[in-house]
Amino acid sequence: MPFLSNITSPTFLLTGVPGLEVFHIWISIPYCCLCAVAILGNAMIMYVVITEQSLHEPMYYFLSMLSATDLGITVSSLPTTIGVLWFNARKISLDGCIIQLFFLHGFTLMESSVLLAMAFDRFVAICKPLRYATILTNSRIAKAGLGIFVRMLVNLMPLLLLLKRLSFCGTNILSHSYCYHPDVIKQSCTSTKINSIVGLLALIMTSGIDIPCIVLSYVLIFKSILSIASHDERHKAFSTCISHIGAVAIFYIPWIILALVHRFGHNFPPYIHVLLSNLHFLFPPVLNPIIYSVKTKQIYRVILKLFQTKGSRLQPW
């Protein structure tokens, strides 16, 4: 009975890779390697930005925010995924699901906002270079960080609170090894119309605003770059945007595809959902530190200097 299911606190069953359950241990090896790369890479980016005085600039402050959100996304999905792959620990309560949703979706929403802030940073740096230092002051960057967090709470908390009003009946089998909001509400045996509407509004208020604003920023950036007479200066200006464009692509493309598949791809094979969810939640944290370490000379030099210093300390006398 619906009322009874809410009293007894419904449980959900997480899913690994459908059809490949006997290979979960082997699948966990590349998964753990990618998670280790994501955690170490993003932690290193944050460390070098905090400790290196030459990197105390707006661009690198936003980069450290990006690394913090990527780190949060990885850590949020790691415990339940490892539990499923290693121990077949599939059960999770509704409250446990809501806690994981808060962190997983919260860091995802904040990453979208950080990418928008980074696009604005590149716009000011290229289109208004003489006013860069006066526009992007430390206090405004701190306020932007606070605004990103508050924006996440405003968009996410209604979604999570509305989950508590739903009733769940029977066996609630989720499509992933972690809780994902569209996946959870599909298990309800009562109407989820309000949840779907609020979820769609949250998507519009985040990526629906962020993506057009990022595109507009780059239209203005490219227009400004093309007006530069020198080919070398155009190349230098454009190269400062490459890393951010890559970060935007690997974050938004899988997210949009995953959202569309969950809403309209009900007839898709289960492994398609698993593949897309892993692309969305794992690839940006893995690839962003690599992209920024390779393409951003200042970051690359600091990391190289860090390893050279540690290597010299390990050498015997």
pLDDT digits (tens, 9 = 90+) for 261-309: 767 767 777 777 777 777 778 989 999 999 998 888 889 888 888 877 7
Q: Which two tokens stand for residue 309?
A: 């210093």
**Residue 231, domain member (yes or no):** yes
The band of 311, judged by pLDDT with boundaries at 50, 70 and 90, is low
**Residue 183, domain member (yes or no):** yes
Q: Which two tokens stand for residue 234?
A: 């155009």
List the CATH number of the domain containing 146: 1.20.1070.10
**Number of separate helices (H) and strands (E) present in the chain:** 11, 3
pLDDT digits (tens, 9 = 90+) for 72-127: 999 999 999 999 999 999 999 999 999 999 999 999 999 999 999 999 999 999 99
**Residue 313, domain member (yes or no):** no
In total, how many domains does the chain have? 1
Whole-model pTM: value is: 0.92
Q: Which among 98, 36, 107 has a CA at the least distance from the CA of 67?
A: 107
**Residue 316, domain member (yes or no):** no
Burial class (CB in 10 A: 0-12, 13-18, 19+), 108: buried
**Residue 170, domain member (yes or no):** yes
**Residue 229, domain member (yes or no):** yes
| C-alpha pair distances (Å), 165 with each of 26, 61, 189, 201, 220 | 39, 40, 12, 19, 45
**Residue 294, domain member (yes or no):** yes
| 8 A C-beta contact, residue 54 and residue 298 | yes
| Domain span holding position 303 | 2-308
**Residue 13, domain member (yes or no):** yes
| 8 A C-beta contact, residue 117 and residue 53 | no
The band of 3, judged by pLDDT with boundaries at 50, 70 and 90, is very low
Whole-angstrom Cα distance, residue 126 to residue 115? 17
